[in-house]
Structure 1
Amino acid sequence: MDFSFEINSMSNLTMLFLLLSLFASSPLGIIKLSSCSEVHTKVKCIHTEREALLSFKKGLTDPSGRLSSWVSEDCCQWRGIECNNKSFHVTKLDLRNAFKLFTYVDDSKTTRYCNSCLGGKNLIYLDLSYASFSGRIPPHLGNLSSLIHLDLKVDNGYIPPNLDRSSVFSPNFLDDFSRLSSRNMDWLSSLSSLKYLDMTGVNFSGVGADWLQAVNKLPSLLELHLYSCDLESLPLSLPFVNFTSLSVLDLSGNQFNSSIPQWLFNLTSLTKLDLRGNALQGTIPYDFVNLRNIEDLDLSGNHKICGQLPSFFGIFCKLKTLDLSGNNFSGSSIDSFLGKIPDSLGRLGSLTSLFLYYNFFSGSIPSSIGNLSSLQQFSLNENEMNGTIPESLGQLSKLVNLQLDMNSWEGVITEAHLMNLTRLEGFAVTIDKNQSLIFNVTYDWVPPFKLKYLEIESCLIGSKFPIWLQVQSELTEVTLRNVGISGAIPEDWFSKISSQLTHLDLSKNQISGKFPQHLVFPNVTYFDLSYNRFEGPIPLCFKNVAQLYLESNLFSSPIPSNIGDLMPKLQILDLSKNHLFGTIPLSITKIEGLEILSLGKNQLSGELPHHWNDLQFLMVVEVAYNNLSGKIPNSMGFLISLEVLVLSNNNLYGEIPSSLRNCSLWSIDLGGNYLSGNLPSWIGSHVLMLCLRSNLFSGIIPRQWCNLPSLHILDLAQNNLCGGIPDCLDNLTALIYGYNNSYFGNHLTGEIPNELSRLIELGTVNLSINHLTGNIPQNIGNLRLLETLDLSKNNLSGPIPKSLSSLTFLAHLNLSFNNLVGKIPSGNQLQTLNDASIYKGNPSLCGSPLPIKCPGDETFDGPTISSGSVDNKQDGDDYERLWFYVSIGLGFVVGFWSVCCTLLVKKSWRHWYFQFCDDIKDRISLIIALKVLQLDDLPEGIMNMDIHQ
């Protein structure tokens, strides 16, 4: 059992260190005469130090009995205490996580005595780690000049090993309320003998760059741990590095925002360097080659470290652990080699762990990876790898965990990739290209490994469930998602793994048949069979399941009435898109931890349960597309955590209960029912989506809805609403600044308010089937992202605004059956909307695409041109004709004199030209003569033939 050591005030903290000073400088031990035997016994413990310890103990409560040994005469035998064999002074005080301090009784005698004996020189080991401090480090600590080992690490906060990309960049997980802190580190300068210093979790915010100057005064230091200390400055250089014997440096989890410092490369004795979880930036400098003794290097979680992974990493022949995850290695570049994993990593023969996940590496894994004969952990997930997986990976006979998921692998995996991986326990490969990676292994191949963790997604492993998977009997976590499996799952495989299985995902396959009801999975917490072809009754063999996904199958049965008793720990229950029938059992409302309930698209009937009071964590209720009837229960108003309510396309009736105002709803879909009454004016200001279409609502649109700043989608179509559209629509700021939709088809009257044109980022506006009058707003073109506009079946009049032609995203337009007049505007996107039905039922409209021509269009197929325009056009034609003739004349003159002037100036060229002309003349004369002779030799009959024949 662990107990924490808490010091709750500054005076108590000071008392502790005054006590430590006493241990270090009090007089040598005493001789005590035994009253019983008169035998002189030498007691090793120094009396004053023993009394000081006992005085300190009086102020403590010790529920674990950890200090029960602090009663004997010899304090050197007490737990957590060690003394020098010759001087008998306390030299070691180990109170790590020792006891819980609730009160402290001030012993004035001890305090007075300690005040006179500061400056101890005997205590060499002090460990108060994992105690819970408040206050500041007292200056008396600096008087313990003989300290070799000082451990003050605070038990709060840590960086988890599986960081996501957001948390890894903000590593301040600490609770300042209970932390030891220091305004400076000047007190360190007197502890020149320190070899081990661990102040993990101590708050050094505000110290600035001085911390490094203080550390630089500790020439004997071998290990330095300053993890998660809120250090804000990392100096890039030092005039002289004095702690070159340092072998372990941990500066992880701070708030540095700089490049990797130059002084670091003078620490040539380093065997472990941990800089994870900072905000370091830039590329890896070449000077890293100085750290040739490094065995453990962790640069993970510095998202600004970028560029290529240097090939010189191959020289670190002693490296055992290399963690470069959560960085920005190998970003985009025109250099085709940038982004590849360097072949030189294959020279790290001592490497046991290689973590490269959460980066931007691309291409293939280098075949040299097969040379890492000691490798046990290899993580390359969450990159942009888009090549093949080399067969040399199969040479890693000591590999235990292989993580290749979330990449874009191509090619095949054969038996050669896997046949030597005898120690493999965890294997993950998932891709974002659908089944571009194929497992090409013999169906009955039996592998040499026994997996405990298996994740394969979007790869093709074959239609039959392969033998190499069936023989895996030690699996605890299985994901075979979208891998092309069809047919039934072997029941004997399920029975092999059922007892130890905790996670099973077989979703997005074509698995069929009935799920074996007699099997029991006592430890399963996550179970996903969604998007398959399972049939029969739903499986209920998961006593401890928290997340159950069975959507999109062929399950056909009622939901068991005692489902709440069978699976009491459910948090997510998704049975949607099946063939379930019967009623929703009341026991569902007894699953207190339920967060998501999805039963949509089934054949459920009856009423909604009437008792929802106990489901304080329920956030989503989705039961759309069923045959439910009755009213929405008032008790749903007790669901204070409810955010999404989807009851659409059922047979519900009555009014929306006002108790729902107590929920935290941001998405409400009650469309396609028989709900009636007035629209609820109490809709909360945080609602993003409100769909009440296809019901029997009456009355007007509440003006209170103009105060819904978050509303993105509003659908009130196909109701019996009346009155006008509120002119305060422009108050709906989310409709102005986000992609949104609005549907109002009812019996609305009045004009379309001009304020509608201020909702500049609306995506859909549907006001069809109303009684709206007046004109279409002239500034309708301000709705720059509008894709759908439906104003059909109203009584709108006037011309179509010309601004409509400026809508470049408009894909669907319907203005039919109104009283619009005039010419249909043209231009931009309207040119592609050439379906005449868009304007049908407006007898006074004319122009393309309607067959009705506008006045003035009888002569021309194109648009009507005014007389002024004709005159301008004629003037333009004359001007163009004049320039045409001028350009021809200039071309002739330039061409003619370019040739003639050349012949006049250059005599040799002139002779050659005329000689060329004579030759051409002679050739033409000869050809004509030959043709004439050929005609004279033709037969006379042919010569006399009628040419018209």
Structure 2
Amino acid sequence: MRKLKAILGVLLLWFLCSTILRSCKANNLVCNEKEKQALLSFRHALLDPANQLSSWSIKEGCCGWRGVHCSNVTARVLKLELADMNLGGEISPALLKLEFLDHLDLSRNDFGRSPIPSFLGSMGSLRFLDLSSAYFGGLVPPQLGNISNLRHLNLGDNGLYVENLSWISLLSSLKYLDMDGIDLHRELDWLEKLSLLPSLLELHLPECQLESNMTSSIGYANFTSLTLIDLSFNHINQELPNWLFNLSSLAFLSVLENQFKGQIPESLGQFKYLEYLDLSFNSLSGNIPSSMGNLSSLSVLNLYDNLLINGTVPTSVGRLSNLMALVLGHDSLTGAVSEVHFATLSKLMQLEISETSLFFNVKSNWTPPFQLHYLLISSCKMGPKFPAWLQTQKSLFYLDFSGSGIEDTAPDWFWKFASNIQQIHLSDNQISGDLSQVVLNNTNIDLSSNFFSGRLPRLSPNVVELNIANNSLSGRISPFLCQKMNGTSKLEVLDISINALSGEISDCWMHWPSLTHINIGSNNLSGKIPNSMGSLVGLRALSLHNNSFYGDIPSSLENCKVLGLINLANNNFSGIIPRWMVESTTRIVIHLRSNKFIGNIPPQICQLSSLIVLDLADNSLSGEIPKCLNNFSAMAAGPIPGKYDDGGFVALESEYDYKSYMESLVLDIKGRESEYKEILQYVRAIDLSSNNLSGSIPVEIFSLSGLQFLNLSRNHLTGRIPEKIGVMASLESLDLSRNHLSGEIPQSMSNLTFLDDLDLSFNNFSGRIPSSTQLQSFDPLSFFGNAELCGAPLTKNCTKDEEPQDTNPDEESGEHPEIAWFYIGMGTGFVLGSLWSSLFQKSLEACLFSGS
């Protein structure tokens, strides 16, 4: 026995020594010289501006270089992990000399939209290839299908496309495939090709421009092991396919933002492993199947924004004991959501029920089984009482009860309870309470459109956004502006508009260095703008409208170099329009309506290429309209739905983690005041009415083909309307009334197919009103007060002498007679062709526009 123990001891000592020796060798590996030179060649072709590969020195062994991993036994290079290093340049074919390389990760770099090199298909040892988010572009090389050992392929988030996917079926060992954002629309049989991957576990195909061919000719997808399918953000317009419900191992399913239709099948309840289900933003109809309660593993359920119409939420949802996130809304479901729906949801952390006819109906003494982090019940009836159960939620960081029908006083416990919540949104209710003694500590606070009263609350330095507009707050504004804090204020957005605040705005703006958006309009404020407001160098939007401010605009505001929106309308400001206001290319909105400004419109205004709204109406401006307004390139291009210029429009919106603050603007258009908010970035308007402007209308202004609203009425303008007006294809409202304009109405105006508001009254126009469906549809009052004007819709008939002659256009316009005949010839086709465009624009405005 002692001999056996001795032998075992020797063996153990040998094992320990050999292990130590191997470890020592691993730490001092001498890499293969051929592979070292290959890596140096590879690095030489790269761009490395941050010097991330500084350790790649010829004097050092390559197994110690950053991102290089070698075999502990052979010292051959097995892995290159170079993700997120800001690398660029070219990928050298020297990589082919790394014959044992099985892992290559170049993700999150910048290769300048260069194509993926096809030689990667010759790297037969690769089992892992990640080129995601590396700014590759062009065609995905089909040679990648030659890497027969590949298990993991991620090409997502690049500018890539495929002609076909025949090559993908060669990757029979593939378990993970991510083609996020790759254009696959050319491959009509994408499902059939992908279904030939029997080992596939995860399939990521979001934003691939996939069409409605999920059923394909195969009728059944041969996925035997698939656990994850992500088809979100595509264009699939069909019912959920049957083969989808044969995937018994499925754990993750997202078809977010497609056009799936039909009912959610009861068979969905058979997925006992399903943990994540997102069917949101589709066109699914019917009811929520009661079998949903059988998804015992489910942790995330999102059915938001569908066409669900029948019945209410099944009480079986209350059995989903593993549920952590529940998102419902923007549908036509009805009925109550009660305690039984949450019976076993002890793990619930995120609850969203919004924009629906469902109503929250729980007992006043209800104690929920969960501790929420994120709670959003908006545009969904919860009131009229303030929910008492809320105070049981000790872990909240986001609370949104906006538009939830609460008609109650905020309870005493609420403000102390809420002090640790990061974001609070209680807007559009009828919540009351005195805020005079309240100290707000939240990062984002929206209490707008309620019945709060008293003085402005105090703020801690942590507050970033305060929107308390449209309440009943009163008292002087100075104590709020000049309050002392324990630290530097982080406040970026201050909106206290539409209240009853009074007094002058004190010279305390230096205490708020982070402000980017200020709206104190529609109060009872007075005095001059203090010079300290010029210390707000990051200010992007300033709204002081509808008060009683007076005096000149201080020159200190010139320091606000990124100021994009200026709204000083309806005050008593005087003097000339300062030159600095019209020189910055960051300016997108200038709203100076109804003040006492004098002098000429500064010619420097033509530098404002980003300007989308210019309203100088109802002042005492004189002189001529500058002839260079065609330099307003944003008005020339017009609004482009979906295109958002981050460089300019940041003045209109301040984005945060879950919600954004949006600027609004009230414009006098078509004879009524309308508020523009969500669609303000799409508005293009010029209003110079009710001034003392003279001279002719510059022909250049009619080059602004994207302009929607033009009002030059109530001035002393003379001359003709240039024939070029016909190119203003986006024009919806035109008011030239009460001037001294003369001549004939241009025939090209019949091309203004978007025009639905026209006023040419009280001028000196003559001749026949051009015949077109467009112009004859307006009220006769649109042409009233032009004694020499005739033809429909006026009752005055035209005599032969009054019919238009082939005369040259006015010299001021510089037009040629053949242009008029060009417009006459294209009129009918333009009207019909533009009708659909007109309907689209009206539909967009109807969906987004509020306050009209």
Q: TM-score, normalised by structure 2?
A: 0.71
Asked if 2 retains the 8 angstrom alpha-carbon contact of 1:345 and 1:369, the reply is yes
Deviation at 1:461, TM superposition (A): 0.8
Give the one of 296, 301, 314 matched to 1:378: 301
Deviation at 1:403, TM superposition (A): 2.1
RMSD between superposed Cα atoms in Å:
3.9
Letter of the 1:767 counterpart: L
In structure 2, the CA distance between the partners of 1:263 and 1:425, relative to structure 1 (3 Å rule), is: same
In structure 2, the CA distance between the partners of 1:62 and 1:75, relative to structure 1 (3 Å rule), is: same
1:155 match: 108
2:546 match: 601
| Counterparts of 1:555 and 1:743, CA distance in 2 | 39
1:613 partner SS: helix
Deviation at 1:611, TM superposition (A): 2.5
In structure 2, the CA distance between the partners of 1:550 and 1:698, relative to structure 1 (3 Å rule), is: farther
Q: Deviation digits for residues 850-886 of structure 1, max 9, x if unmatched?
A: xxxxxxxxxxxxxxxxxxxxxxxxxxxxxxxxxxxxx
Asked if 2 retains the 8 angstrom alpha-carbon contact of 1:600 and 1:623, the reply is yes
| Counterparts of 1:44 and 1:760, CA distance in 2 | 79
Deviation at 1:182, TM superposition (A): 0.6
Deviation at 1:708, TM superposition (A): 3.8
Q: Are residues 1:498 and 2:493 paired? A: no
2:398 match: 477
Deviation at 1:136, TM superposition (A): 4.8
Deviation at 1:232, TM superposition (A): 2.8
Asked if 2 retains the 8 angstrom alpha-carbon contact of 1:221 and 1:245, the reply is yes
Count of aligned pairs between the two proteins: 687
2:152 match: 223
Asked if 1 retains the 8 angstrom alpha-carbon contact of 2:156 and 2:180, the reply is yes
Deviation at 1:768, TM superposition (A): 2.8
Q: Are residues 1:347 and 2:270 paired? A: yes
| Counterparts of 1:528 and 1:55, CA distance in 2 | 56
Q: Are residues 1:738 and 2:730 paired? A: yes
In structure 2, the CA distance between the partners of 1:542 and 1:446, relative to structure 1 (3 Å rule), is: same
Q: Are residues 1:314 and 2:245 paired? A: yes
Asked if 2 retains the 8 angstrom alpha-carbon contact of 1:555 and 1:579, the reply is no
2:557 match: 612
Letter of the 2:353 counterpart: V
Asked if 1 retains the 8 angstrom alpha-carbon contact of 2:625 and 2:694, the reply is yes
2:178 match: 250
2:74 match: 89
Q: Which structure 1 residue ranges, 5 or more long, are not aligned?
A: 1-40, 93-123, 157-174, 331-337, 806-814, 824-949
Q: Deviation digits for residues 391-445 of structure 1, max 9, x if unmatched?
A: 22222222222222433432221122234322222122221x6xx2221222332
1:395 match: 319
| Counterparts of 1:630 and 1:427, CA distance in 2 | 55
Letter of the 2:434 counterpart: K
Deviation at 1:464, TM superposition (A): 2.0
Asked if 2 retains the 8 angstrom alpha-carbon contact of 1:515 and 1:535, the reply is yes
| Counterparts of 2:63 and 2:746, CA distance in 1 | 89
1:365 match: 288
| Counterparts of 1:583 and 1:492, CA distance in 2 | 40
1:833 match: none
Deviation at 1:510, TM superposition (A): 1.7
1:611 partner SS: helix
2:116 match: 181
1:672 match: 618
What percentage of aligned pairs have identical amino acids? 30
Letter of the 2:382 counterpart: I
Asked if 2 retains the 8 angstrom alpha-carbon contact of 1:699 and 1:722, the reply is yes
| Counterparts of 2:379 and 2:66, CA distance in 1 | 58
Asked if 1 retains the 8 angstrom alpha-carbon contact of 2:219 and 2:243, the reply is no
Asked if 2 retains the 8 angstrom alpha-carbon contact of 1:642 and 1:665, the reply is yes
| Counterparts of 1:42 and 1:804, CA distance in 2 | 94
2:590 partner SS: strand
Q: Are residues 1:690 and 2:686 paired? A: yes
Give the one of 412, 423, 446 matched to 2:367: 446
| Counterparts of 2:513 and 2:74, CA distance in 1 | 60
| Counterparts of 1:416 and 1:386, CA distance in 2 | 21
Q: Deviation digits for residues 635-673 of structure 1, max 9, x if unmatched?
A: 313443111112223344444334433333221112233
2:431 partner SS: strand
1:714 match: 710
Q: Are residues 1:292 and 2:210 paired? A: no
Letter of the 2:177 counterpart: L
> Residues 477-876 of structure 1 correspond to what in structure 2 (within 5 A)?
477-501=398-422, 503-521=423-441, 524=443, 526-539=444-457, 541=459, 543=461, 547-559=465-477, 560=481, 561=506, 564-663=509-608, 664-686=610-632, 687=635, 688-719=684-715, 721-724=716-719, 726-728=720-722, 730-735=723-728, 737-748=729-740, 750-755=742-747, 757-761=749-753, 762-770=755-763, 772=764, 774-775=766-767, 777-784=768-775, 786-791=777-782, 794-797=785-788, 800-801=790-791, 803-804=792-793, 820=796
Deviation at 1:242, TM superposition (A): 5.2
Asked if 1 retains the 8 angstrom alpha-carbon contact of 2:113 and 2:138, the reply is no
Deviation at 1:52, TM superposition (A): 5.3
Asked if 2 retains the 8 angstrom alpha-carbon contact of 1:311 and 1:344, the reply is no
| Counterparts of 1:563 and 1:396, CA distance in 2 | 55
Asked if 1 retains the 8 angstrom alpha-carbon contact of 2:351 and 2:372, the reply is yes
Q: Are residues 1:411 and 2:335 paired? A: yes
Q: Are residues 1:279 and 2:189 paired? A: no
Letter of the 1:760 counterpart: L
| Counterparts of 1:623 and 1:42, CA distance in 2 | 72
Letter of the 2:756 counterpart: G
1:392 partner SS: helix
Q: Deviation digits for residues 503-524 of structure 1, max 9, x if unmatched?
A: 3322211223333554132x51
Letter of the 2:440 counterpart: V
1:307 partner SS: coil
Asked if 2 retains the 8 angstrom alpha-carbon contact of 1:763 and 1:785, the reply is no
Which stretch of the first structure deviates more once superposed, 240-249 or 659-668?
240-249
Letter of the 1:328 counterpart: Q
In structure 2, the CA distance between the partners of 1:42 and 1:302, relative to structure 1 (3 Å rule), is: closer
Asked if 1 retains the 8 angstrom alpha-carbon contact of 2:116 and 2:141, the reply is no
In structure 2, the CA distance between the partners of 1:232 and 1:591, relative to structure 1 (3 Å rule), is: same
1:7 match: none
Letter of the 1:211 counterpart: Q
Q: TM-score, normalised by structure 1?
A: 0.65
Letter of the 1:291 counterpart: F
Q: Deviation digits for residues 828-871 of structure 1, max 9, x if unmatched?
A: xxxxxxxxxxxxxxxxxxxxxxxxxxxxxxxxxxxxxxxxxxxx
In structure 2, the CA distance between the partners of 1:572 and 1:342, relative to structure 1 (3 Å rule), is: farther
| Counterparts of 1:177 and 1:712, CA distance in 2 | 39
| Counterparts of 2:385 and 2:374, CA distance in 1 | 21
Q: Deviation digits for residues 566-588 of structure 1, max 9, x if unmatched?
A: 44333333344444455444444
Q: Deviation digits for residues 771-823 of structure 1, max 9, x if unmatched?
A: x2634x2425453585445356635147x41x439xxxxxxxxx8xxxx5799
| Counterparts of 1:575 and 1:753, CA distance in 2 | 44
Deviation at 1:90, TM superposition (A): 1.1
Q: Deviation digits for residues 179-222 of structure 1, max 9, x if unmatched?
A: 6831455523xx2x54334344568756666335423xx1x443
1:745 partner SS: coil
| Counterparts of 1:43 and 1:479, CA distance in 2 | 55
Deviation at 1:462, TM superposition (A): 0.9
Give the one of 345, 350, 367 matched to 1:421: 345
| Counterparts of 2:209 and 2:717, CA distance in 1 | 59
Q: Deviation digits for residues 84-117 of structure 1, max 9, x if unmatched?
A: 66xx63134xxxxxxxxxxxxxxxxxxxxxxxxx
In structure 2, the CA distance between the partners of 1:606 and 1:448, relative to structure 1 (3 Å rule), is: farther
2:256 match: 325
Q: Which structure 2 residue ranges, 5 or more long, are not aligned?
A: 1-24, 482-505, 636-683, 800-852
In structure 2, the CA distance between the partners of 1:78 and 1:625, relative to structure 1 (3 Å rule), is: closer
2:710 partner SS: strand
Asked if 1 retains the 8 angstrom alpha-carbon contact of 2:438 and 2:458, the reply is no
